[in-house]
Amino acid sequence: MIDRGRRNLLGIAISAVDYEYAVAKIIEDAQAGRRCATTALAVHGVITGALDRAHRYRLNTFDLVTPDGQPVRWALNLLYGTKLNDRVYGPTMTLKVCKEAGLQGIPVYFYGSSQQVLDKLCARLPEVCPGLKIAGAHPSEFRKLSAEEQKLAADRIRDSGAKIVFVGLGCPRQEVFTYEMSRQLEMPMLAVGAAFDYHAGLLQEPPAVLQRLGLQWLYRLVQEPGRLWRRYLFTNSQFIGLFFAQWLRLWRPELEDCEAPLGEVRFG
Identify the CA nearest to 65 among candidates 51, 79, 81, 50: 50
pLDDT of residue 266: 64
pTM of the predicted structure, to 2 decimals: 0.90
Give buried/exposed letters for 159-171 (b at 16+ CB in 10 A, else e). Answer: ebebbbbbbbbbb
Fold classification of 3-199 is Rossmann fold (3.40.50)
Domain spans, the chain: 3-199
Q: What is the pLDDT along the chain (268 residues), one digit of tens a residue?
A: 999 999 999 999 999 999 999 999 999 999 999 999 999 999 999 999 999 999 999 999 999 999 998 999 999 999 999 999 999 999 999 999 999 999 999 999 999 999 999 999 999 999 999 999 999 999 998 888 888 888 899 999 999 999 999 999 988 999 999 999 999 999 999 999 889 999 998 877 766 666 676 666 666 666 667 666 566 667 888 999 999 999 999 999 999 998 888 766 666 7
